[in-house]
Amino acid sequence: MAKHLPGLLPGSWALWSIGMATVFARFLSRRLALGSWRKLQLDDYLMALCVLTFTGVTVCSNQVGISGSNYASDAEIATWSPAEIRDAEWGSKMLLALEEFMMATVWLVKACLLILYGRLTSGLTEAFAVKVVAIYCAVGYVVVQILYLGVWCRPIDDYWAVPVPEGHEQCKTYLHHMITVTVFHVSSDLLMLLVPVPMIARAKLPLLRKIILCGIFSLGLLVVLVAILNRYYNFTVANSLVFLIWYNGEASTAVMVANIPFCWTLLRRLFALDTWGMSSRRSRSTSGAYRLGDRDIPVGSGGAAGAAATHGTAVGSDGVSQAGRRPFASLVGIDPASTTGSTERITAEQRGDATMDHLDYKNHDKRAAYGAHKGSSDGDYDPEIGL
């Protein structure tokens, strides 16, 4: 009986450390962006909960790797001593807990991303698609839980029986459960990719920016790939615990993908990066241009209809405040006609970066304008986060 899976202990905790580094960067970036811990939003609190489930995946997988489980052939189990059988029973219980922690981690990540997409698409037609995907994810989670705990293995204590009774192979192989989880997990991830990528693809942005944004939001494909590899090794390598390595890889990848889009503020502060440029300060040469400072950052490409006031929110040529524009329109300029000729001036701590971290809008009264120069080719923008 293998009492330890080679490479699992250092590998799993290394993956945990990488995932936790992105969580730490996310929260630090959010604190810098929002200006207060009290202004954290629902997805931030869900990510804090995800830290617990993610840690549970690492701890339980190592317990299974050390103690073993009932996922072994009857011939092998027949050679075990009573102490080894007790260890396998404990490991099987940890395997049951591992699966619960894994599902919780994956679905919490989905929830965090869907909340982000909900803020991005508020007021747009794509908002309905986000709601549909959210319902599908919720239904999927309920279904897999009911099947896992109440259908595939009955009675439930057969999950840690060593050996499992004849005819109860699902209690150790988890085959039907894995198929069900994979269907809902992969399909929901692919559906989630259909929300932001097409919106960015049709936006009026330079090609490089589209590629960067699409790349960021397509990181979910990595989660899909690792999930498929996880199931491949689970299905093809019988009576082996090698799948534990892939469990940790899948959980870590999911956590990283959920947090990377929120780390831009921290990167910008550390490396003095502008929204899309290489410096936190630069000047405009066009009429009504602004110089970017440490705190007051002009949103948009400068002033086309006139310079904004030194402080406060700028108004367009019609004299109307530009706050309250649709979020994604201000993000990528899908509807530039409604915002042309306007600029907005907000503090660096309140500004939201359109590419990564600050895709957050709390309500329709806390949105920034998209401004564009007549004849400007770069179309810089910098919408405000919801506070």
Q: What confidence tens digit (pLDDT) does each residue in 331-362 have?
A: 443 333 333 333 333 333 333 343 343 344 33
Q: Tell me: do 51 and 171 sit in the same domain.
A: yes
Banded model confidence at residue 273, pLDDT cuts 50, 70, 90: low
Q: Tell me: do 230 and 336 sit in the same domain.
A: no
Is residue 182 over pLDDT 90? yes
Stretch among 69-83, 109-123, 232-246, 287-301 having the lowest mean pLDDT: 287-301
Report the pLDDT value the prediction gives residue 205, as an integer from 0 to 100. Answer: 79
Burial class (CB in 10 A: 0-12, 13-18, 19+), 9: middle
Report the pLDDT value the prediction gives residue 367, as an integer from 0 to 100. Answer: 39
Banded model confidence at residue 237, pLDDT cuts 50, 70, 90: confident
Percentage of the chain lying above the pLDDT 90 cut: 44
Say what the pTM is: 0.73
Domain extent, residue 378, equals 281-387
Report the pLDDT value the prediction gives residue 203, as an integer from 0 to 100. Answer: 78
Q: Which of 4-8, 171-175, 313-317, 337-341 has the highest mean pLDDT?
A: 171-175
In a domain, 369, yes or no: yes
Q: Tell me: do 235 and 150 sit in the same domain.
A: yes
Nearest to 301 by CA among 204, 200, 208, 198: 204
Average pLDDT (316-340) is: 38
Q: What is the mean pLDDT of the chain?
A: 74
E strand spans, 179-333: 296-299
Is residue 294 over pLDDT 80? no
Report the pLDDT value the prediction gives residue 217, as an integer from 0 to 100. Answer: 77
Is residue 319 over pLDDT 80? no
Average pLDDT (69-74) is: 89
Nearest to 158 by CA among 145, 173, 146: 173
In a domain, 270, yes or no: no
Is residue 382 over pLDDT 70? no
Q: Tell me: do 38 and 91 sit in the same domain.
A: yes
Q: Tell me: do 244 and 288 sit in the same domain.
A: no
Is residue 223 over pLDDT 70? yes
Average pLDDT (4-22) is: 89
Task: Quote the number of domains for the chain.
Answer: 2
Q: Tell me: do 37 and 172 sit in the same domain.
A: yes
Stretch among 61-70, 93-102, 266-275, 377-386 having the lowest mean pLDDT: 377-386
Q: Tell me: do 229 and 327 sit in the same domain.
A: no
Q: Tell me: do 331 and 194 sit in the same domain.
A: no
User: What's 110's domain CATH number?
Assistant: 1.20.1070
Is residue 3 over pLDDT 50? yes
Contacts of residue 251, Cβ cutoff 8 Å, sequence gap at least 6: 15, 19, 54, 57, 58, 102, 105, 106
The Cα-based distances of 171 to 87, 151, 154, 157, 158 in angstroms read 17, 10, 8, 9, 6
Cα separation, 303 vs 308, whole angstroms: 7
Banded model confidence at residue 143, pLDDT cuts 50, 70, 90: very high
Is residue 365 over pLDDT 80? no
